[in-house]
Amino acid sequence: MSHTPDTFVYPLDQHPAESMVIHCADPRFQVPIRRFVTESLGVKNYLPIIRGGGVHALGAKGYAPREFDTLWHQVTFMLDLFKLPEVIIFGHEDCRWYQNHAEHYHGVDPATKCKTDLPMVALMLSEAYPTMTIRLFWAGIEGENVRFEKVTFE
Ligand SMILES: [Zn+2]
């Protein structure tokens, strides 16, 4: 493909997105999560929602209603627009975003809050989208690796 020194060309991804994947912006986890989703879960293409804390804002309606509304609107807009049948949500160990908002958790430690937000958000989504497949994963740090564990709900 032709390019000038200031122009670069890459092919569009032609696979339709099969899932929405929501996770934190923490740079330590971007490549491991993408690899896990594509290599282990076999999802060829997905729509990523990447923000501080992943779904954090969806568990913060009480003290951060605007952040809740913004993320909920983004998630539902994209699910509807691309008619996605599945949402995959990650929480992770040592989340700085969750730690930074700990004053709102009424004494619950940030890792526990992060872990318990996953099934809570899954139930919220399944109420809005009864046929949606929802998968939850916890990304733990093991030495120099990330270990993914399925989180159950309902
Ligand atoms: Zn994080």
Ligand 1 mean position, distance from CA 31 (Å): 14
Q: Identify whether 13 is part of a domain.
A: no
Q: Identify whether 55 is part of a domain.
A: yes
User: How many angstroms separate the Cα of 89 from the Cα of each of 8, 22, 108?
Assistant: 32, 5, 21
CATH number, domain at 130?
3.40.1050
SS3 call for 113: helix
- Alpha-carbon gap, residue 99 to 26, rounded angstroms: 13
Domain extent, residue 72, equals 19-151
Distant-in-sequence, close-in-space partners of 59: CB < 8 Å, separation ≥ 6: 113, 117, 120, 121
pLDDT at 34 over 60: yes
Ligand 1 mean position, distance from CA 115 (Å): 12
Q: Identify whether 112 is part of a domain.
A: yes
- Alpha-carbon gap, residue 20 to 37, rounded angstroms: 11
Per-residue pLDDT of 55-90, as tens digits, reads 999 999 999 999 999 999 999 999 999 999 999 999
Q: Identify whether 2 is part of a domain.
A: no
SS3 call for 97: helix
Instruction: Kindly indicate the confidence band of residue 2, based on its pLDDT and cuts at 50, 70 and 90.
Output: low
Ligand 1 mean position, distance from CA 8 (Å): 31
Q: Identify whether 26 is part of a domain.
A: yes
Q: How many domains is the chain built from?
A: 1
Q: Identify whether 3 is part of a domain.
A: no
pLDDT at 113 over 90: yes
